[in-house]
Amino acid sequence: MADNKRIRRSPSRTAKDLANTGKVAPAHLTAKARARHLADEVRRLEVAIVATNRLAREHRKRNANILPALDRTESKRGFAALTHAQKRSRRHRFYLQVAQFAVSSCLVAGAGAWLYKLWQSLQ
């Protein structure tokens, strides 16, 4: 039998709480130490921003001969819905091909019958 289990309350998602969860100077530091800590964090972020181009270039060099994964979302989605004019055009093209096949079949059958009749009359 299932027992009642205590579920912990999820942390608050307010902007103030999210801002406090980041790297901030500890509260016990003096104002000078907090300013120095903030300056260090700003410097670290500036270095990271400047380094992104170099890191991206190195990543491209390292993975130059590797193909990206296939995007399979296109194949799952299938064909887009056609407009009425496109459906009519496809239907018209299909009926035209059927008619051409029928005419060609009749011509081949007629030519075969004419050759057979000619062959019979020559014997």
Give 101's pLDDT tier (boundaries 50, 70, 90).
Answer: very high
In a domain, 108, yes or no: yes
Compute φ and ψ for 56, nearest 5 degrees.
-65, -40
In a domain, 105, yes or no: yes
Q: What is the DSSP string of 69-112?
A: PP-THHHHH-PPPPPHHHHHHHHHHHHHHHHHHHHHHHHHHHHH
pTM (2 d.p.): 0.36
In a domain, 87, yes or no: yes
Q: Specify whether 58 is located in the same domain as 88.
A: no
Residue 99: per-residue pLDDT = 98
In a domain, 107, yes or no: yes
Cα gap 72→68, rounded to integer Å: 12
Give 22's pLDDT tier (boundaries 50, 70, 90).
Answer: low
Q: How far is CA 118 from CA 2, 106, 112, in A?
A: 93, 18, 10
∠ Cα 76 78 80 (to 5°): 135
Question: Contact, 48 vs 55, CB < 8 A?
Answer: no
In a domain, 5, yes or no: no
Average pLDDT of every residue of the chain: 82
Residue 119: per-residue pLDDT = 95
Cα gap 42→27, rounded to integer Å: 18
Domain containing residue 29: 23-65
In the chain, % of residues over pLDDT 70: 76
